[in-house]
């Protein structure tokens, strides 16, 4: 990912927190130079100093059999906002876009053991809807086994993390204030989020 120096996340923990907050991401692989992508929720954890991304495919998804022994890219991105040149002090300016994104590269490992798959599902449920976990635990074992046979669980050990926050860092203080005010007053939630990120990154 192209990242000018002033747009780079310098803090790895900040990038991890971003991935955890916007955890519905896109996993990209390549088959015969053709990119393939699937949109999945990811658990983002740290283990032995490494960032681990965990999720699962539907077994019927061909990409499930294409992730081993290959470099895998997972893209995390969510809030973004159109930036109008009306916010700038000079007329000789053009529109742009503010956004945050994290690209995580790594190698994937399949979780072949049934218990590991069950643990991943329990962790996923607890992360996204803790109240459902008790119901899941009470479901018949044969039903849960059938569900687990229909998925391919995996985890990715990240070996390259590229994080970017394009938040008008190259604009003047007055222009940034103008943009924050415009986005804060917007009815669009994504634009409100970008305004908040801009405030905390001044």
d(CA 195, CA 81): 9
Task: Write out pLDDT tens, residues 111-148.
Answer: 988 899 999 999 999 999 999 999 999 999 999 999 99
Q: What is the pLDDT of residue 33?
A: 87
Instruction: Report yes or no: 79 and 190 within 8 Å, Cβ to Cβ.
Output: yes
Q: List the alpha helices (DSSP H) in the chain.
A: 12-21, 114-128, 130-138, 141-149, 173-184, 189-200
Residue among 97, 99, 101 at smallest CA distance from 87: 97
d(CA 79, CA 189): 8
Q: What is the pLDDT of residue 63?
A: 94
Q: What is the pLDDT of residue 131?
A: 93
Does pLDDT of 70 surpass 90? no
- DSSP string over 55-83: EEEETT-GGGGS-TTSEEEEEEEEEEEEE
Q: What is the pLDDT of residue 156?
A: 96
Does pLDDT of 9 surpass 90? no
Does pLDDT of 202 surpass 80? no
Task: Write out pLDDT tens, residues 163-191.
Answer: 999 999 999 999 999 999 999 999 999 99
Residue among 198, 165, 167 at smallest CA distance from 181: 198
Task: Write out pLDDT tens, residues 72-90.
Answer: 999 999 999 999 999 999 9
Q: What is the pLDDT of residue 201?
A: 83
Confidence of residue 10 (pLDDT cuts 50, 70, 90): confident
């Amino acid at each position: 990912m192209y990242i000018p120096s002033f747009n780079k996340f310098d803090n790895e923990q900040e990038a991890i927190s971003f991935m955890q907050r916007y955890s519905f991401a896109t996993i990209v692989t390549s088959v015969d130079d053709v990119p393939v992508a699937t949109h999945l929720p990811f658990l983002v954890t740290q283990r032995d100093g490494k960032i681990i991304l965990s999720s699962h495919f539907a077994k019927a998804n061909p990409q499930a059999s294409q992730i081993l022994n290959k470099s895998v890219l997972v893209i995390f991105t969510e809030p973004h906002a159109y930036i109008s040149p009306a916010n700038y002090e000079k007329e000789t300016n053009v529109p742009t876009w503010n956004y945050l994104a994290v690209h995580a590269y790594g190698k994937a490992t399949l979780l072949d053991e049934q218990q590991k798959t069950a643990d991943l599902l329990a962790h996923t449920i607890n992360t996204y809807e803790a109240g459902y976990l008790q119901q899941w635990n009470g479901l018949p074992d044969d039903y849960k086994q059938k569900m687990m046979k229909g998925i391919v669980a995996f985890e990715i050990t990240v070996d390259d993390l590229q994080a970017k926050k394009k938040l008008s860092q190259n604009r003047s203080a007055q222009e940034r204030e103008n943009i924050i005010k415009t986005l804060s007053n917007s009815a669009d939630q994504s634009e409100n989020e970008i305004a908040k990120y801009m405030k905390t990154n001044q």
